[in-house]
Amino acid sequence: MTTCEYFGHPHGLVIENRSSSKISFYISNQYPDTLLPSSSKYVISIQPDSLYYIDNPKQKPYPNLNRKGNMFIFFFDSDTIECYDWKIIREEYKILERRTSSMQDIINSEWRIVYP
């Protein structure tokens, strides 16, 4: 299976950080949609004004859509990730933003999710 076949786009999904700060993100397809994972294993950091390409179907975090056709993107301040234990981040829900994207949203945005 090629990236094009898997994602429907030859370049896969792009997460773009247009902020002046380093951020982190996590992509989920699980309900409840506000639930953070028990581990920060798949939380990815992006430098300011940078891109992160998810172009491999086996690469984590992967943008599989759940049965309702959505994926959820959680954005974090990277300082929060570095300064707090993941358990505290999870319990106190220390996120910058949570977005819900459908496949149509992803297609409409040309396979690019931009923060902020």
Helix (H, G, I), strand (E, B) or coil at 63: coil
- Could you tell me the domains of the chain? 3-115 (2.60.40)
Q: Would you say 12 and 3 are in contact if contact means Cβ atoms under 8 Å apart?
A: yes
Task: Express as a percent the part of the chain with pLDDT over 70.
Answer: 79
Helix (H, G, I), strand (E, B) or coil at 47: coil
**Number of Cβ atoms within 10 Å of the Cβ of 116:** 10
Q: pLDDT by residue (tens digit) across 22-63?
A: 999 999 888 888 999 999 999 999 999 999 988 765 555 555
Instruction: Give the bridge partners for 14, in sequence order.
Output: 53, 112
Q: What angle do CA 29, 64, 105 make, to 5 degrees?
A: 85
Assessment of whether the complete model's pTM goes beyond 0.75: yes
